[in-house]
Chain A
Amino acid sequence: MAHNYRNDVAIDWCPGCGDFGIVSALTQALGELNLDPNDVIAVSGIGCSGKTPHYLNIAGVHTLHGRAIPYATGVKLANPNLNVLVTGGDGDLMSIGAGHFVAEGRRNTGLTVILYDNAVYGLTKGQAAPTLALGEQTKSLPRPNMFSKVNPIALALTSGYTFVARGFTSDIKQLKEIIKKGMQHEGSALIDVLQPCPTYNNINTMDWYRNRVYKLEDEDSWDPIVTEDNVSSLQEKFTKAYNKGLEWDEKIPTGVFFDNRTVPPFTKRLEKNLPEYFSNPPSSQVIASPDGKTLVDPVETFRDRVIQ
């Protein structure tokens, strides 16, 4: 029988929350990828998005605010054979965890980062999040937002994410396909998911998005994939992706912006130093004899420190 990726834990998001669409797309994607459920791990930070792992029938950890990426990186590097998902909000990934978001682009560990992008901090009652535009005043703000917004697509591209995409929570089918592609991608993926917060964001509503989104894949000439065979197109495709990433007010593109398969993930970089890294990763190494003794010869290992 197929594994049911949704467990029986009651979901406590508000009615109409965009998070539901993400969980639907995610569980459908997991089902279609036909993975061993033990091999998929969900890691989240804090906030409404942080609750996601509890609703999935896979192992998961609901960590600290902003730290989902380094937790997930630790899981992945200790066992590179796992598929590691990060579910984080815009506050979590773009504000308190922004340093980790950038560092992960440089590492390209192979995480699938799903950004719950609704421009507000929901669980703490609607403060402005980093993706809310300057001057916007969502309903619980005492005055218009004083900060300019961050652009997750542009930030991911310039940080080094090798798969950059955007979904819209009401288009579950498209989002499911993007998540599948992101998970199959060897390096790290950023999937920005536009979603309404019906309780606190009265500006970027479901209808507001519906009136603006269009799909990149509907343009016949759109080809975001860079491989060793067409590596000369790298700069051109990066530039196109970046320019698409800047589109916002009138028309908002969704789909895959950039899919660069030419940058080795961090795990493969480690393999160069540790040849058996994938077949015998840290998580599965034997570290003691059956009677509980060390296996390591300290003097031979530290031969360079020996005085004879």
Chain B
Amino acid sequence: MSKVDISLTIGGPQGGGIDTSSNMVSRAFAYAGYNVFSVREYHSNIKGRHSYTHMRVKQERPRSLRYPLDVLVALDSDTIFEHIEDVGENTKIIYDSSFEGSELSKARMITNDTAGRIRKTLEANGYSPDVTGSIKYMKDRGGIPIAIPFSKIVTSVVKEGTPSRYYNTLGSAITLAISGIDREFAEKAIRIIFASKEKVVPSNIDVVGAAYEFVEENKLNGIHLEKRESKERLLITGNDGSAIGKIMGGLRFQTYYPITPASDESTIIEEHENIKWLSEEHSKLAKGGIVVVQTEDELAAITMAIGAALTGVRSSTATSGPGFSLMAEAISFAGMDEVPLVVTLYQRGGPSTGLPTRNGQSDLLFALNTGHGEFPRIVLSSGDVEECVYDAIKALNYAQRYQLPVIHLIDKNLANTLDMVPNIDVDKVGVQNGVRVEENADFKRYSLDNEDGVSPMGVFGKNIFWMTGDEHDEQGHVTEDTEIRDRMMEKRFKKIKTAEKEIPLEERVELLGSKDADVTFVTWGSQKGPILDVIDDLAEEGIKANLLYLKMFEPFPTNFVRDVLTKARRVVNVESNMLGQASRVIEQHTGFEIKDSILKYNGRHMTEDEILRAVKNLIGAKEHMVVLQNGA
């Protein structure tokens, strides 16, 4: 069978069932044995504004998204306007025939600046600023419009209720039928998705049936995608991945204040606080559950997590940029008082409220410098959903081992990436506790008699000791003694040297791809997947490329990075921010200045095609910096 590689977008109004559509289509492809990878894009809005899922389907696991689309499914006319540039040769454009004639000027939920931009494009090219003109614009660029009488099809099988409530099921079913997925998988997806709302299952199944018949009658179906063998897989996001890792890693206390895109992680943990154990024997040991607290603000979220950590529990909080700004003072406390604490920092577009529901990687320098004064910390980053799982466990381990704040960076794009993970390896990352004091007598929480800088830890409830944000003596009492001050500063920083020695290099940085390369990409976070695909694309064109993939920024893998970069022929830095923050960190540590960069700060996910185009421009020495602009 030929290679399957379908790029697809389903768009509609926020609150109009796009998540359900995305879930249904992903599941149906998955039940048929294919792999799906998708990203959700949405406004900071509850109902009405343009929202979509960008998806890719392959036999093997996709790791990036690309344009142009193979299928665009428009559940409202705004989707047609917003995505006119995303179609190309043979893109099937599925939309409700009733949208014909809808005017852009009446698209109330598109802001004036976006509508103005679309209008300009259409009018400059001689098209009318409405759905009809937009469809023609796309058709002239190779698109294949497929107008579907949504209302007619739904009302032919559903006699009660509002027909438009079924439009997302209909659009998804048409998509699956046109893509050649057997009807049984679409129906199975419906039964699973609506398992808790059994009443609506039959009517949705009827709509699926009507959709498949319509596609059959009108001969819209292309190739048939045969069922492939597949193993059990988890369909999870980056938010899910971090939650799973934290639960595996022994987290028993999590705090949060509601913020996009971080709070999902906490509610996911709360929904799964009823842990299932690997063996019966464990369940006797470990019952009790996880405490998840929604606090009054982020100041309370982090300080409550610290308070819990003082009892010996593995404790964490999750937030995004604005909340993290509020946490700065307490991060400094955790550094000073040597508190094992994990902060999962979901990055979105800043500054200020910025792009609250959009992607960004602009908090790296902040994470490295948050909090007043000088104190050690560990900063690590994940680049795909599986890494979120294992990194969350590692973050909890590092916090315990080195008794310091650990900041785990996950970008919004990754938080909202829905990926299929075939297997979680329960042996891959262990759960190791730090050094605990046994005896209470004369216990010194900040004992200076430790080669590695790590003092044995005591916990509230078992040991009597003191802590203070002031400089302190070994017992934890306030002191301003000059000698103790020097020794405590040095002790705290000794821990980062210990971490540098102990944490394996491969947990901090990787050189992916061949050693011998014409182009060496440098990146971190969610660009990992798209760049690996671009490396394959370049190989087909005879250009050898590899990727220096950064996972840990503190302690920074200086020697390895310097070694790779000074030997590289051409280095291209790729980041979702304006300043090239990782390249600044690299230069600070290694003295190596990266000249070529591909940056994106419009808040949308990077796609394979735009990185490929950009790197070719850089290779052609046309420019040294390309700013990417894909995405609605």
Contact = CB atoms under 8 A, between A and B. Distances in A.
Interface of A: 9, 37-39, 41, 43, 46, 51, 53-54, 57-64, 66-67, 69-79, 81-82, 99-100, 102-103, 270, 273-274, 276-277, 279-289, 291-303, 305-308
Contacts of B299: 66-67, 70, 99-100
B433 interface: yes
B288 A277 contact: yes
Contact of B286 (A46, A273, A286, A301): A286
B348 to A, nearest CB: 24
B329 interface: yes
Interface in B422-468: 424, 426-427, 429-433, 440, 458-468
A283 B296 contact: no
A43 B306 CA distance: 12
Contact of A67 (B289, B309, B330): B330
Contacts of A60: 466-467
Given A59-B463, A78-B252, A64 B276 contact: no
Contact of B311 (A70, A283, A291, A295): A283
B177 interface: no
A82 B460 contact: yes
Contacts of B433: 288
Interface in B483-517: none
A301 B432 CA distance: 21
Contacts of A61: 307, 310, 337, 466-468
A74 B286 contact: no
B293 A289 contact: no
A305 B240 contact: yes
Contact of A296 (B248, B461, B465, B468): B248
B300 interface: yes
Contact of B30 (A39, A78, A299, A307): A307
A224 to B, nearest CB: 27
A74 B430 contact: no
A100 to B, nearest CB: 6
Contacts of B463: 38, 59
Given A283-B459, A299-B232, A307-B31, A59 B330 contact: no
Contacts of A66: 299
A198 to B, nearest CB: 22
A54 B234 contact: no
27 contacts: A51-B478, A60-B466, A61-B310, A61-B466, A62-B466, A66-B299, A67-B303, A70-B300, A73-B304, A75-B311, A78-B309, A99-B297, A274-B288, A280-B287, A282-B313, A283-B459, A285-B287, A286-B285, A293-B427, A295-B278, A295-B285, A296-B247, A299-B232, A299-B424, A301-B272, A302-B272, A305-B240
B92 interface: no
In this complex, which of B236, B420, B426 has the most chain A Cβ atoms within 10 angstroms of its Cβ?
B426
A62 B310 contact: no
B470 to A, nearest CB: 7
A64 B470 CA distance: 10
B276 A297 contact: yes
Nearest to B36: A307
A287 B286 contact: yes
A59 to B, nearest CB: 5
Given A286-B285, A293-B430, A302 B244 contact: yes
Contacts of A306: 232-235
Interface in B291-341: 291, 293, 295-297, 299-301, 303-315, 329-330, 333, 337
A87 B601 CA distance: 47
A58 B440 CA distance: 12
A78 B308 contact: yes
Given A51-B478, A302-B244, A79 B249 contact: no
Contact of A64 (B232, B277, B330, B461): B330
In this complex, which of A71, A79, A273, A296 has the most chain B Cβ atoms within 10 angstroms of its Cβ?
A296
Contacts of A299: 232, 234, 424
Contact of B247 (A70, A301, A307): A301
A81 B461 contact: yes
